[in-house]
Structure 1
Amino acid sequence: MGDVSSNGSSEKSCNTVISITPWQQMISSCSGAILTSFFVTPLDVVKIRLQAQNSPMKRGQCFLYCNGLMDHVCWCRNGNGNNTKPVHWYKRGLPQPFTGTLDAFMKISRQEGPTSLWSGLPPTLVMAVPATVVYFTCYEQFRNKLGYRDGLEQGQWWKPMVAGVTARTWAVTLISPLEMVRTKMQSEQLSYTAVWKSVKKMVRRDGVIRLWMGLGPTLLRDVPFSALYWFGYESFRSMLQKIHGKVGINFWENFFAGAASGAIAGVITLPFDVIKTHRQIELGDMMNLSGEKQTSSTFRLIQNLYRQQGVTSLFTGIVPRVVKVAPACAIMISSYEYFKSMFREHNRLMQNSLAI
């Protein structure tokens, strides 16, 4: 945005460069990740409860939890009617069955308490916050290094795409080993000490590359999504700025741009999401069985899906994906830009006070 400074992103206003520091960028993205997780998590809690009602999960069965911001492989620890242990958020029995999404919201809130809708929030925050901080901060740093200015004129359309792809690849690669460790802890219910010993043993046996197991399927979806999302967002932002004839857009315009670009990118990359979901659960099952189950390649998985269910299988779940991704992108980018604007105003006042 505007001229680039060594401190971070910047914005030109009244011929004065108002910049924010990387730390302020990180705080902005952290706040956005927390708000996004808080608002979108209930949707996925209800979705999983409805799915568990229609197809009861067995003890040790693997499933994918996603709040629109981060994906996590989870296991049902108390299936087959075993209620001797604490009942987890994804396997709770209710006296009456759910008849739909709204009915599930009402019954869960009334019979288990409203806080039950956010039962899946902690595991998401553990991974979503650091991943999002790295992702958004790196995106702006890479975009500024490429010399991008507000607007997509003069052949700059590729800069947001390259910055988004680079930032996403870096963020996912950095977080992948942590996600693998967290998944192993959950699947085998190990202590931190036991996990550390298990990871060291695994690295000695299979090499350090084992820590990035499952990275390929994640990049398969997230990289093209990021390229399309940032291109769409910067395009909408540029269009709205032209309409107003000024630099910058307000909170609700950011919200619209984020929702629209997220929905478009989500629909286009849906086949990648379907493949990633199947592959991630397959890898999760392998880990849950302590390596006894062998997984097929991603290419073979695509062949099997096409052979068994046809091309339509790659577009399964389009409505739930858009319903989650669009608001998640909207809340994330609008809150992120809001906090950045707040820090810019703070920095501007500080500069003015020092100049007096």
Structure 2
Amino acid sequence: MSGQRPPASNGITPLQQMAASCSGAILTSLFVTPLDVVKIRLQAQKNPFPKGKCFVYCNGLMDHICVCENGNSRAWYKAPGHFSGTLDAFIKIVRNEGVKSLWSGLPPTLVMAVPATVIYFTCYDQLCAALRVRMGERAQVAPLLAGAIARVGSATVISPLELIRTKMQSRKQTYRELTDCIRSAVQAEGRLSLWRGLGPTLLRDVPFSAMYWYNYERGKSFLCELYNTREPTFTMTFISGAVSGSIAAIVTLPFDVVKTRRQVELGELQAKNLSHQVSTSTLSVMSRIVAQDGFSGLLRGFLPRLIKVAPACAIMISTYEFGKAFFRKYNEERILRPLQTSNS
């Protein structure tokens, strides 16, 4: 057995953890990107009217701003392209831009998913195992702390890619337009502008991860006790991931809205020469959203985020646990094979 690298304390090596997490990240990205596009479109849109439409006298002068619903000279007008809900956004995006637009930002999503998932899941497992040993009787809190710390590292590393993906999904644009937008923003505000939205991203993702991993581990343990089994099944991890992800997504939604709004505004403020006049802090953006759309604006994109996060968490964690179980079994067989040969 000389020359073989021994598996980690949890039965698999960090490299095997990375392989297990990558497979789940690719599957999850392909599945949830359309839901992410719809969520970002809903969060990025701005109402020119308080309730989405207003009553005006039709004289032909406002046709470039709003669309007449009735066709009469006295009618309700509504802003063009305004999405009234999740299903309406799906239909209008497909009708106006084609089915492919639902996978806008998929390349940066895939590029982002691999390093983010490798850093996040591998760091979580390593940190959680170390914290459980050190914390002793308080080991139940280890998933909460490990999830929060791992998320800080992964979110900071992939924040520029997150910004590029959000810009691509917020509206249909070419790679050249996106490059010009980002280049002008970097020239005006420096390279730190690539981390625009990192603050609300951390405010969203760190508590999300803390709640998610804590609830996931507790839910998984509960189901194992309920069905009297030591190892959780694929169904148990799937259900635990979906429930814990849904709870965390609902609590952190307002910060997701703020993150989207700040990243979408990249380049728009420079074009209007307002970059030094308009504050982009989290509280300022929250105040602007509430002033424009009311408190309900902070919950915009609730349904597509929930529809996205629940299956995404379920697919990711169940695939990851399945991969770890596969490698754990492989390592056990590799260790036992020489012993069985020598005994025979």
Q: TM-score, normalised by structure 1?
A: 0.67
Separation in 1 of the partners of 2:151 and 2:221?
Answer: 22
Alpha-carbon distance in structure 1 between the residues aligned to 2:307 and 2:32 = 10
Q: Which residue of 2 aligns with 1:63?
A: none
SS of 1:147's equivalent in the other structure is helix
Aligned counterpart in structure 2 of residue 338 of structure 1, from 314, 318, 322:
322
CA contact 1:9–1:141 (8 Å) conserved in 2: no
1:133 aligns with 2:118: yes
Conserved in 2, the CA contact under 8 Å of 1:228 and 1:265? Answer: yes
Alignment equivalent of 2:222, drawn from 239, 249, 256: 239
Contact 2:197 2:263 in 1 (8 A): yes
Worse overlay, 310-319 or 116-125: 116-125
Partner of 2:232: 249
Structure 1 residues 280 and 100, CA, compared in 2 at 3 Å: closer, same or farther? closer
Shift of 1:166: 0.3
**Aligned match of 1:351 in 331, 335, 339?**
335
Matched, 1:301 2:285: yes
Cα distance change of structure 1 residues 274 and 330 upon mapping to structure 2, 3 Å threshold: same
Call closer, same or farther: CA 1:227–1:100 in 2, change over 3 Å.
closer
Match of 1:76 in 2: none
Q: What letter is aligned with 2:25?
A: A
The answer to whether the 8 Å contact 1:161/1:227 transfers is yes
Q: Please show how residues 195-214 of structure 1 align to structure 2 within 5 Å.
A: 209=192, 212-214=195-197
Question: Which of 103, 117, 122 is the matching residue for 2:107?
Answer: 122
State how far apart, in whole Å, the 2-side matches of 1:298 and 1:51 are. Answer: 15
Structure 1 position 20 matched with structure 2 position 12:
yes
The equivalent of 1:327 in structure 2 is 311
Letter in 2 for 1:234: E
> Does 1:29 pair with 2:21?
yes
Alignment of 1:109-258 (within 5 A): 118=103, 120-147=105-132, 154-179=137-162, 189=176, 209=192, 212-258=195-241
TM-score by length of 2: 0.70
Question: 1 CA distance for matches of 2:268 and 2:133?
Answer: 43
User: Aligned-pair distance for 1:34?
Assistant: 0.2
Higher relative contact order (CA 8 A, sep 6+): 2
Cα distance in 2 between the residues matched to 1:133 and 1:264:
24
In structure 2, C-alpha distance between the alignment counterparts of 1:178 and 1:303, rounded to whole Å = 27
Q: Which residue of 1 aligns with 2:80?
A: none
Structure 2 letter corresponding to 1:189 = R
Shift of 1:174: 1.7
Q: Does the CA contact (< 8 Å) of 2:38 and 2:304 recur in 1?
A: no
Q: Pairwise CA RMSD of aligned residues? A: 4.3
Secondary structure at the aligned position of 2:139 is classed as coil
C-alpha distance 117-178 of structure 1, shift in aligned 2 (>3 A): closer
Return the structure number with greater helix share.
Answer: 2
Whole-Å separation in 1 of the counterparts to 2:299 and 2:181: 37
Structure 1 counterpart of 2:125, which letter? E
CA-CA distance at 1:241 after TM superposition = 1.6
Superposed displacement of residue 351, structure 1: 0.8
- Alpha-carbon distance, 1:41 to partner: 2.3
- Return the alpha-carbon distance in structure 2 between the equivalents of residues 104 and 177 of structure 1: 27
What is the deviation of 1:101?
4.2
Partner residue in 1 for 2:242: 259
Percentage identity across paired residues of the two chains: 49
SS in 1 for 2:232: coil
CA separation of 1:36/1:182 partners in 2, compared to 1, >3 Å: closer, same or farther? closer
Aligned length: 294
The Cα shift of 1:246 comes to: 2.9
Q: Distance in 1 between matches of 2:86 and 2:214?
A: 36
Q: For the residues of structure 1 that align with 2:251 and 2:314, how far apart are their CA atoms?
A: 18
Q: Unaligned regions of 5+ residues in structure 1, if any? A: 11-18, 56-98
Whole-Å Cα distance in 1 between the matches of residues 18 and 308 of structure 2? 24
Compare CA radii of gyration and give the structure with the larger one.
2
